[in-house]
Amino acid sequence: MSLTPEQIQANYQKHLKIIDNYIGDRKDSIKSMINHMEETYVMAPASGRKWYHNAFAGGYVDHVNRVVHYAVEQHRLYQKMGGTTDYTEEELVFAALFHDLGKLGDGDEPNYLPQTDKWRQDKLSEMYQYNPDLDFMLIPDRSLFILQKFGIPMSQKEFLGIRLHDGVFDKANEAYFFSNVESSRQKTSIISILHTADFLASKVEYDIWKRNGGSTIPKVKKTKSTSGKRVNSSDGLNNLLKNL
């Protein structure tokens, strides 16, 4: 799967529009950071392997735009379900916009380089390889590093949202998610909102790739269900919600 040049361009324009609409005082320094690494910014993938998510040119911006969208939707759902939200709209969108910034590299050199080894492309679905010249950093740490490198300040909530957006998929985050005393429980809900938005966006991107014929494993022969009738899961869910 890939994006057309027109789609890549449209996604980038949408991205800049999100910044214009949601970001206040920091807009100019953010725009100058983006200008500094524009080619990488526009063309980077969101991952290196086909079956991860958005492992194609322009996949990064496509993913981040989706995370911003889902974060706003998750925010509404969380409030609707009775959760307490304690951050501003700008804080949520800022954290969503830059949670994966580290995937672009260190602000000067790119993180992803095209995989030139045909065998690794075919057998491992590896479309990009990590730049071996970069110092190792976890992606969220590098995201925060790049923001400070370009003199872009952030609130504590934005910091925590970016730093912990992988949730407990990253073991290094466990101290933030499992507490022994109430006072060390997460106080801001931006962490949960952003983590779930990112998780769902990545999963949807995988689903889109899969629906478009993406596969790295042999097809399994389908077996018929015992009733022989397929249930539309959204119909079932709608009926369930109606009966609540």
Q: Which residues bind Fe ion (CB under 5 A)?
A: 100, 198
**50 Cβ partners below 8 Å, 6+ apart?**
1, 125, 127, 209, 214, 216
Shortest Å, Cβ 30 to Fe ion: 18
Least Å from the CB of residue 69 to Fe ion: 13
Minimum CB separation from Fe ion for residue 64, in Å?
7
Nearer to Fe ion, 100 or 158 (CB): 100
Give the nearer residue to Fe ion in terms of CB position, either 100 or 106. Answer: 100
Which one, 69 or 222, has the nearer CB to Fe ion? 69
User: Is 130 in a helix, a strand, or coil?
Assistant: strand
| Residue 203 vs 221, nearer CB to Fe ion | 203
Helix, strand, coil: what percent of the chain each, to 5? 60, 5, 40
The Cα–Cα gap between 215 and 205 comes to: 13
Of 203, 131, 134, 139, the closest CA to residue 173 belongs to 139
Nearer to Fe ion, 91 or 198 (CB): 198
- Provide the token pair at 68: 């911003």
Report in angstroms how near the CB of residue 240 gets to Fe ion at its nearest.
30
- C-alpha dihedral over 114, 163, 63, 92, to 10 degrees? -150
Instruction: Report how far apart, in Å, the C-alpha atoms of 39 and of each of 44, 69, 74, 229 are.
Output: 8, 24, 31, 50
